[in-house]
Structure 1
C-alpha cells in the first residue's frame, strides 16, 4: 500500500526530517517549488502546510501563512485551550456537530466531544493530529505531493474505515491546488477542509490592514454555541457583507453560503505587498475565521509572536452540522461512492 520511504521517487521534491512524534515516528517536511520562485512547505503530520513563500512585485519572498518551526510546537498547540489547527487538514468532519450526535441509516452515533459538549474538527484526534503516508511525488512543472490516510472504522466513533488521498499541487500560475478523494467501507459522514491562517503582509504581521471580498449573500445563522440553527442570515445591510471588499474584521467565525460554486468565492488583498489571493472551490460554503484564544502563548516560526489578528482562515467546506439538517447539502458518503473536493488558493501581484 502506501509507503513512507520516498527514495524510489526520482527527482522528488526535497524532503528533510521535521522531528519525531511522541511515538518516535519521524515526520518529514517537503518543499514544492515552481519556476516563479514560489515555494510551499508541507509536513506529513496532519498533511499540514507550514510555509507558503510568494514572490512580490518588489522581488522579495513573503511567507503568507502562520506556522511553527518544529514538530514540538505543532504537538503542543493541540494542548492549548483552543487549538489553532495551524495549516492542518481537518477531518473527518470540519466544523461543529451538535453535541457530537448524528443519525445515519436510522442508527444514532455519538462522536467524541472536544468543544464544550460538541464535536469539532474531527474530535480529539482528528486528521490534523495523524501522520499521513506519502503515496506519490512529482517534480518538474506543477510539482505535487499526495498524502494518504486510513482512518479506521469507529475512529473517534465515526462509522466505516475511511481512505483519504489529498494531492497538493503547486502550479506554474502560483496556485496551491488541493484535491481530496475519499472512500469508506461503510456509509459515513465527511467534511474535509484546509485550515491555513493567511496573512499577505507576512506571517508576523496583522490582517487588519488587508481587505477581503466574499461572494456570498447569506451566512448560516448560529446559536450561542456556534451551532447552525438551520436558518440563514441575509447579508444586506450586515457588517459581514463583503460583496464590496473592505477591511478584515478583528473577529469573525462564520460560514458564508456559496452559490454558484466553482467561481472565485473569496479574495484577500494586501496593499503593503501588492498581493492578492483568490480562493476557488466546489464546496457550498467558506468558513471565515479570525481570532482565537490560543495565541500569545506559543512562539510562531522565526520567533514571531502570533496574536488574535495574525491570520485569517478561508475554510472551504460543507456546512457545519449538516448531518442534522435535512435541507443542508449532503454530507453522507455511501459505501462504494467517492467523495471529491477541490480548492485552489491563487496568488497574484496587483498594481
Structure 2
C-alpha cells in the first residue's frame, strides 16, 4: 500500500482514416462547464475528458462523482455506461438521499462497513456515525462523497486527467488525524479509466478509499427499455474465497471458499444464473453484496492484478478491472427500486446496474486477521485501480498489459 505505483506507458494518438484511407489524428480535449450550485451557493463544475479514440469521461468535483462514461460497443457506437444524473440537484434531492446508492462517488475515509460504528486504536475507542442500521457505512453520513473537492486538470503521456484534493480535518466523522487525500482520474487513449489514490495523515487512522460507479455495459439510456437489468452480463472474479457476512452485512471473519457456491465466478458466468439460489449469504445481501478475496499470490502490494472481467449481454462491451487492492466488493444493485430516474429519463429499476468496488476488506479496523487499513503518520497511502474497456471482437483478457 505504501510503494510506488505502476505508470501507464507512453500513449500515441489514435488514427482515423478519411475516405482516401489517409490517417487523421484525433485530438484529446478537456472541457469545463457548470454542473450546478450547492445550497451554500458554491458553484460546482463538470469536467469532460475526451481521449484520442473519442471516449468521454465526465467528472464533477462534488463527491468526485463520475457522472458519465461513454465508450464504444462492438459496432463502434458510443454510449454512456454508468448510472447517474444530468443535474447536480438530483444528487442532492431527498429521493436520492433516501435510497443513497452513492452513484459514481469517491468513498472515504473508509469504504464499506465498520461494525457498531466504532473501532479501537491504541486503546482509545473512536465512535463513528451509524448510517447503516447500527453500522458505519462508506465514511459516514457526511463522507467524502458529499464534499466539494478541489480540482486541477492535467494532460500528459498517460492521457487526459483530473486531480482532486481534499483535506479531512482531525475528528472528521469520528476519524483521528488530519488526512490529505488526492485522487487522480485519467482517461487513457486505449480506453482505460485509471484511478490513483493517495493520502497522508498526521496521526494513525484507518483509510480505505474506493470508487462507487454502477455499470451497465449495454448502456444506461437510449436503446434499452426502462427496467432492463444486468442479470445477463457475464462476470469473472479472480477469487478463490469471499468473506461471508452476518445479518448486518458485517464479515464474520471467515475466508470461505467459493467452490460449489453461487459465489464461484472463477469462470465467466451470467450474473443472473445463481442470484436467486437458496443460499443464506445471498438472502442476507438480497443478492450479491459481498467482498471477494482476490488471488494475489506471489504479487507485491503495488502490483496490479486482474480482479474481474465483465461482459455485456448485448452490446459486446467488455470491462476489465485491475487493482493493487486485496479485495473486490461485488454489489448487484439489489436496492435499486425504480424510485430514481436517471440520465435521459431512464428509470433505474431493480439491478439495473452493478458496482465492482476495489478495496481492503470491510470492518478491517475490528478484524485483526484482515489486511490492515491503518495509515501511520509519515507514511503515504497509495492504491490504483483501472477500468479497461474493449469489445469482444477486439480484445481478449489474456492480452491485457499491466506495465
Shared fold, TM over 0.5: yes
- Which residue is equivalent to 2:268? 245
Which of 299, 306, 311 pairs up with 1:264? 306
- Which residue is equivalent to 1:217? 240
CA RMSD across the alignment? 1.6
User: Once the two structures are superposed, what CA deviation does each residue of 1:306-351 show, in whole Å capped at 9, x if it has no partner?
Assistant: 0121111000000000011111001100111100010000001112
Alignment of 1:30-69 (within 5 A): 30-69=47-86
Do 1:93 and 1:122's aligned partners in 2 also have CA atoms closer than 8 Å? yes
Q: TM-score, normalised by structure 2?
A: 0.82
1:296 maps onto 2:296 in alignment = no
Where has structure 1 moved over 6 Å in runs of 4 or more? none
> Residue 187 and residue 295 in structure 1: after superposition, are their counterparts in 2 closer, same or farther (change >3 A)?
same
- Which residue is equivalent to 1:116? 133
Q: Helix, strand or coil: the match of 1:50?
A: strand
Q: How many residues in Structure 1 have an aligned counterpart in Structure 2?
A: 341
- 1:59 shift after superposition: 2.3
Provide the rounded CA distance (Å) in 1 between the counterparts of 2:170 and 2:243: 31
Provide the rounded CA distance (Å) in 2 between the counterparts of 1:57 and 1:20: 38
Which of 92, 116, 129 pairs up with 2:109? 92
Gaps of 5+ in 2: 1-27, 222-227, 276-286, 394-403
Which of 153, 156, 159 pairs up with 1:142? 159
Q: Helix, strand or coil: the match of 1:222?
A: coil
Q: Helix, strand or coil: the match of 2:79?
A: strand
> Which has the greater radius of gyration?
2
Q: Helix, strand or coil: the match of 1:207?
A: coil
Gaps of 5+ in 1: 1-10
- Which residue is equivalent to 2:148? 131
Which of 163, 171, 186 pairs up with 2:180? 163
Provide the rounded CA distance (Å) in 2 between the counterparts of 1:62 and 1:107: 50
- Which residue is equivalent to 1:208? 231
- Which residue is equivalent to 2:354? 312
- 1:47 shift after superposition: 0.5
Do 1:36 and 1:55's aligned partners in 2 also have CA atoms closer than 8 Å? no
- 1:137 shift after superposition: 2.6
